Amino acid sequence: MWNKSLSRRQRGGWTATWLMLATLTGAPAAQAQAPTPAQPQMQVQAQAQTKLPVQIQTQEILIGQVAPFSGPLAPTGSDYARGLEIGFEQINGKGGIKGRKIKLVKLDDAYKSDQTVAQATAMLAEHKDLLLFAGFVGTGNLEALIKNKVLSNAGISLVGVRTGAVREHHPFVFHLRASYSDEVGALVRHTATIGMTRIAVLYQDDAFGKSGLQAAEDFAREYKVEIVARGAYEKNTTKVSDAVSAIRKADPQAIVMVANTAAASAFTQEYRAAGGTANLMAISVTDGEQLYKKIGEDSARGVVIAQVLPNPYARTSTSAREFQEAVAKSKVEDAKVNYTTFEGYITAKLLVMALEKTPRLTRADITRTLENMGKSMIGDFPIEFGVKRHEGSHFVELSVVSAGGKLLQ
């Protein structure tokens, strides 16, 4: 609309100027729309220039987790996911990685190996720009992924698997926790140190449990300890009655439980109810707090648990203090301090370190970065990766369930 304060001569001058511009640029005069005289001359010149596309880097960095969010190990998968989300929440609050926020994409496998393969495959199909996998759970589950070449075919790395059994080098698997052999070795050594020479082993009847049983047999020979009984239970169940009966008859001084939280809880409760008095020890996949909540203080108190991370409740650990503060500030639902959530958080911190060091965020480049990280510290927790070293840690310490469910070193 013309400015009414302009004279007829001024309006005519603007019209002539616009027609001249239309002629020079090849625009038909009938279609040319004259700008208002109020527009600055620089805007007129800008309109005559070709507009260039603007690249806006707001795309999220997608990290995928396939884990048990239902079934007996649902608390494990859920707590690990919370730890990842708390770690990502921290960096996202600071602007993300090069302006891009990290998002965790989750699918439930109910701790079933075939579902791990199916869900990971489905996630890759739906999210073409998925950068990494993290926080999977289970030995057989990882073995199924490897056997079906899910990682290799997609060229995608998996960082932080809640298993200590599958230790053969794989180009796309990076372990953040010590092996089950490291853990079982620490437990058997402990029994020998305190003069207990007759032990039994409870184990899950699959690759996970059998790897722990083999480690117990190897270390028993090394420390001159006798395994007087072995008891197995079926995966994804808490059917431990036969194992309780077999082990109780042998009357061991100590029992090493190569079992998840649900099965270890069921065994401890049934064994104590049957009058069993042996010292009970478990590897780190048994969560002490969950054990205490499931079976109560009378049964849980005194159970020794191998841990593959510093104590998350300690104020003397810099990584634990940072984690505690992050949990206190977090908006993640049901955020809490425990070993499993801490493991997820440490995994997230490692991923952030790798992402920040990677110039181009592609699957191949992030894998290369992880392999070249060398020795690093996450607070006071040391990790080390290399081209042929994908086992990031051998850290193990022992804790004991005490009054109120607290874990003491």
Interatomic CA distance for residues 248 and 225, integer angstroms: 18
Say whether 257 sits in a helix, a strand or coil: strand
| Pair 375, 381: CB distance under 8 Å | no
- Domain spans of the chain, in order of start: 61-178+312-394, 180-307
Mean pLDDT for the stretch of residues 203-215:
93
Fold match between domain 61-178+312-394 and domain 180-307? yes
pLDDT 10s digits, 220-252: 999 999 999 999 999 989 999 999 999 999 999
Residue with tokens 């496998």: 109
Strands 304-307 and 102-108, by their bridges, are: unpaired
Domain 61-178+312-394 has CATH 3.40.47.10: no
Strands 158-162 and 173-174, by their bridges, are: parallel
Interatomic CA distance for residues 354 and 379, integer angstroms: 15
**Token digits for 12?**
């005519």
- In sign, the C-alpha dihedral spanning 372, 378, 379, 382 is negative
Task: State the pLDDT at residue 392.
Answer: 86
Choose among 306, 304, 343: nearest CA to 185. Answer: 306
Interatomic CA distance for residues 120 and 125, integer angstroms: 9
Percent share of the chain, pLDDT over 70: 85
**CATH class in words for 180-307:** alpha beta
Q: Within 10 A of 12 (CB to CB), how many other CB atoms are there?
A: 11
Mean pLDDT for the stretch of residues 133-146:
94
Chain mean pLDDT for the chain: 87
Would you say residue 33 has pLDDT above 70? Answer: no
pLDDT 10s digits, 113-134: 999 999 999 999 999 999 999 9
Q: What are phi and psi of 76, to 5 degrees?
A: -65, -50
Task: State the pLDDT at residue 250.
Answer: 97
Confidence category of residue 166, pLDDT binned at 50, 70, 90: low
CA angle (312 as vertex; 97, 207 as ends), nearest 5:
85
Confidence category of residue 76, pLDDT binned at 50, 70, 90: very high
Instruction: Give CA 226 to chain center in angstroms.
Output: 37
Would you say residue 171 has pLDDT above 60? Answer: yes
**Beta pairing partners, 398:** 306
